[in-house]
């Protein structure tokens, strides 16, 4: 697999302990590019705020890591690398604070995955929670919505399974390497997800699951999604962490109500009390997110125009208003071409103008 030059340097930083998204952003600001940052001197590293331990680890990695060999190793294992600088990097994920500079992928990402909803909940669901998950997820998947979750036991697994049963797409975000399936009993489910979506992780292959990996993982689950749905979970559960990330990202939060006598329902009931959308069926989410115009996965694919310029401009538009000037700068296209193409997209019903030269996607 051929990668642009910047990929190897993002990989290098990913393999150095202590260099996360925040520290790498500081180093990039200090050095100007990821290549320059990789070859930075210890003095430049210190100016970027790297402590002595991380500084030493990075210097050692610069000397010892064979990045090309690593790229070849991962490619042979069917693992793809995607960086923030790549056109294939998910637009929704790029919008969150501190998005992963690089993540690993098994499977495929698709433009239709922008129509995504995260479904999370307890690892020990009740029969009610499982059935609620199945019914709601099937309804969403049949409407072309990609289901994002964490491959954990309980609600996560039920959500992935229900999406697959509905012949929909689903994405699992892992707290381990994409080649280390956890829990092991979900090996077959992971294989099916790869065939109908993707496994994603910001952790390098061969990374074992670790308690500290899962909260950061949850920000990616919510970051990939237009909204997060919580189905059963305690007040301090991981599902609530994901919903908090979603709220911080400015994304919608939904919850399925449960019994007032059940500890396992305290999380979603409390979310509803504090303003989360109450959900009893898939249509509640579809209506709130203005997704009812999409009826099947095939129609989502057809929602992408055939004209390459129209398709390109559409990737810069979302439910948030974007000014035509920003679209011109982001796309690098001539202003006249952008304006005429936006007009054509509006006539075709792909977008609508909501203000003075500001546009949003309408499907």
State in Å, rounded, how far the first CA of the chain is from the last one. 33
Strand arrangement, sheet containing 252-255: 80-83, 102-107, 197-201, 170-173, 146-149, 116-121, 227-231, 252-255, 277-278
- The pLDDT score that the predictor gives to residue 352 is 81
* Candidate from 94-98, 191-195, 223-227 with smallest mean pLDDT: 94-98
- The pLDDT score that the predictor gives to residue 301 is 45
Mean pLDDT computed over 141-153:
96
Return mean pLDDT, the chain.
91
Place 349 in a pLDDT band, splitting at 50, 70 and 90.
confident
Q: Give the DSSP per-residue string, 299-352.
A: HHHHTS-SSHHHHHHHTT--SS-EEHHHHHHHHT--HHHHHHHHHHHHHTTSEE
Q: Could you tell me if 77 and 104 are in contact, meaning their C-beta atoms sit under 8 angstroms apart?
A: no
Q: Could you tell me if 116 and 224 are in contact, meaning their C-beta atoms sit under 8 angstroms apart?
A: yes
Mean pLDDT computed over 224-231:
97
Task: Specify the fold of 111-288.
Answer: Rossmann fold (3.40.50)
- The pLDDT score that the predictor gives to residue 304 is 64
Q: What percent of the chain has pLDDT over 90?
A: 66
Q: Give the DSSP per-residue string, 16-36.
A: STT--HHHHHHHHHHHSSHHH
Which ranges constitute the DSSP H helices of the chain? 5-14, 21-31, 34-38, 42-47, 52-64, 67-76, 91-94, 127-142, 155-165, 187-195, 214-223, 238-248, 266-273, 282-288, 297-302, 308-314, 324-331, 335-347
- The pLDDT score that the predictor gives to residue 295 is 45
Whether residue 49 has pLDDT greater than 70: yes
Mean pLDDT computed over 117-125:
97
Mean pLDDT computed over 26-33:
88
Give residue limits of the domains in the chain. Answer: 5-76, 111-288, 304-361
Whether residue 95 has pLDDT greater than 50: yes
Distance CA 7, CA 299 (A): 34
Whether residue 219 has pLDDT greater than 50: yes
Distance CA 313, CA 331 (A): 7
Distance CA 172, CA 151 (A): 6
Q: Could you tell me if 146 and 152 are in contact, meaning their C-beta atoms sit under 8 angstroms apart?
A: no
How many other CB atoms sit within 10 Å of the CB of residue 326? 14
- The pLDDT score that the predictor gives to residue 363 is 59
Burial degree of 65 (CB within 10 A; 0-12, 13-18, 19+): middle
Which CATH architecture describes the domain 304-361? Orthogonal Bundle (1.10)
pLDDT digits (tens, 9 = 90+) for 258-314: 999 999 999 999 999 999 999 999 999 999 998 875 444 444 444 567 788 888 898
- The pLDDT score that the predictor gives to residue 290 is 84
- The pLDDT score that the predictor gives to residue 300 is 45
Helix, strand, or coil (residue 293): coil
pLDDT digits (tens, 9 = 90+) for 185-217: 999 999 999 999 999 999 999 999 999 999 999
Whether residue 162 has pLDDT greater than 90: yes
Whether residue 159 has pLDDT greater than 90: yes
- Residue bearing tokens 């501190």: 98
* Candidate from 30-34, 38-42, 114-118, 150-154 with smallest mean pLDDT: 38-42
Which position has the higher pLDDT, 240 or 355?
Answer: 240
Place 359 in a pLDDT band, splitting at 50, 70 and 90.
confident
Place 67 in a pLDDT band, splitting at 50, 70 and 90.
very high
Go through 27-56 and write b for each residue having 16 or more CB atoms within 10 A of its CB, e for each that does not: bbebbeebeebbebeeebbeebebeeebbe
């Amino acid at each position: 697999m051929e990668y642009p030059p910047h990929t190897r340097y993002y990989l290098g930083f990913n393999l150095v302990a202590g260099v996360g998204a925040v520290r790498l952003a500081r180093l990039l600001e200090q050095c100007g590019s990821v290549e320059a940052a990789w070859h930075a001197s210890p003095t430049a590293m210190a100016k970027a705020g790297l402590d002595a331990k991380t500084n030493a680890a990075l210097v050692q990695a610069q000397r010892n890591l064979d990045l090309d060999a690593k790229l070849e190793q991962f490619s042979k294992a069917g693992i793809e690398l995607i960086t923030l600088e790549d056109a294939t990097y998910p637009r929704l994920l790029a919008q969150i604070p501190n998005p992963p500079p690089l993540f690993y992928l098994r499977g495929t990402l698709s433009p239709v995955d922008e129509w995504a909803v995260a479904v999370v909940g307890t690892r020990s669901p009740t029969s009610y929670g499982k059935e609620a998950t199945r019914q709601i997820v099937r309804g969403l998947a049949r409407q072309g919505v990609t289901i994002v979750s964490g491959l954990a036991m309980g609600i996560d697994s039920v959500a992935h399974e229900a999406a697959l049963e509905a012949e929909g797409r689903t994405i699992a975000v892992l707290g381990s390497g994409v080649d280390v399936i956890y829990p092991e009993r979900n090996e077959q489910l992971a294989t099916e997800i790869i065939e109908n979506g993707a496994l994603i992780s910001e952790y390098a292959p061969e990374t074992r699951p670790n308690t500290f990996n899962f909260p950061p993982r949850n920000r990616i689950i919510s970051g990939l999604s237009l909204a997060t749905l919580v189905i059963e979970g305690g007040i301090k559960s991981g599902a609530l962490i994901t919903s908090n990330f979603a709220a911080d990202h400015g994304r919608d939060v939904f919850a399925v109500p449960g019994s007032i006598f059940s500890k396992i329902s305290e999380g979603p009931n409390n979310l509803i009390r504090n303003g989360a959308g109450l959900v009893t069926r898939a249509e509640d989410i579809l209506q709130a997110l203005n997704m009812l115009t999409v009826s099947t996965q095939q129609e989502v694919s057809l929602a992408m125009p055939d004209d390459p310029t129209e398709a390109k401009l559409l990737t810069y538009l979302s439910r948030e208003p974007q000014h035509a000037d920003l679209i011109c700068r982001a796309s690098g296209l001539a202003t006249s071409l952008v304006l005429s193409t936006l007009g054509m997209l509006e006539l075709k019903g792909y977008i609508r103008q909501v203000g003075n030269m500001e546009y949003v996607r309408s499907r």
